[in-house]
Amino acid sequence: MYLSRTQPTAMSHHTSSNDWWQRNHLAYWNYAVFPTKKELIYRIFRAAYPQGAFVDDNLNLAELRDKDVIWSRLQEQIRKATFDLSDFLTGLFEEEPPLRFDVEKQQIIRDYYKALLREAESDLFVSQNGRYFEFRCMEELLVRYRKADPKTWMKEPEQGKPRLPLPRVDGFKFAQEHLDLRDTSDVKYHQRGLNRLLE
């Protein structure tokens, strides 16, 4: 089973509205709905640059910025997400009866979120460490995914189904390879744990 969301809904008033995950639309009523790597990276970009670091949500070019400055602001958002993660998950566990006293389920979910953050940061680091255009393509491809398929853009591509056609530019292929979950991905490993939890 693939973990994806249908209609996101914010968690209740019992949790802090200052939580990074809630402010950036990654907190939900249903604990079985978890962010994906694509979605987390997109939200990190938008938390740092609501109107776009390189492009906005309509693919209009943003003002030209130094990529080191962009990376610094993305890192700041990753630090905030990491700092708030424990409180966010504590609130989630308190809100959801199936999780409230189940230490094993709580640990599986913690492991997933921690792996998600590590992998998102790692792929963003690799992206910014290359050419300027490769870094830009990371954000732009996410916007292209969202515009092409607003409901399921955050999912992993289904085997055998056609993907969004990419411009014939190496930077987009580079971004696609780092946005998809590799077979060796810790996130993919922990997704399997979540799937078993929800069976």
Q: What is the 3-state secondary structure (H, E, C) of 74-114?
A: HHHHHHHHHHHHHHHHHHHHHHCHHHHCCHHHHHHHHHHHH
Which residue type sits at 3? Answer: L
pLDDT of residue 29: 57
Which residue, chain included where needed, has tokens 């870094």? 135
pLDDT of residue 11: 46
Can you give the pLDDT of all 199 residues of the chain as single tens digits? 333 333 344 444 344 557 899 999 887 656 778 999 999 999 999 999 999 999 999 999 999 999 999 999 999 999 999 999 999 999 999 988 888 899 999 999 999 999 999 999 999 999 999 889 999 999 999 999 999 888 888 888 776 566 777 777 788 999 999 999 988 999 999 988 888 877 7
Measured in whole angstroms, how far is the alpha carbon of residue 159 from the centre of its chain?
Answer: 21
Closest C-alpha to 21, from 129, 145, 109? 109
Which residues 6+ apart lie within 8 Å of 70 measured at CB? 48, 49, 53, 54, 128, 135
Global confidence as pTM: 0.88
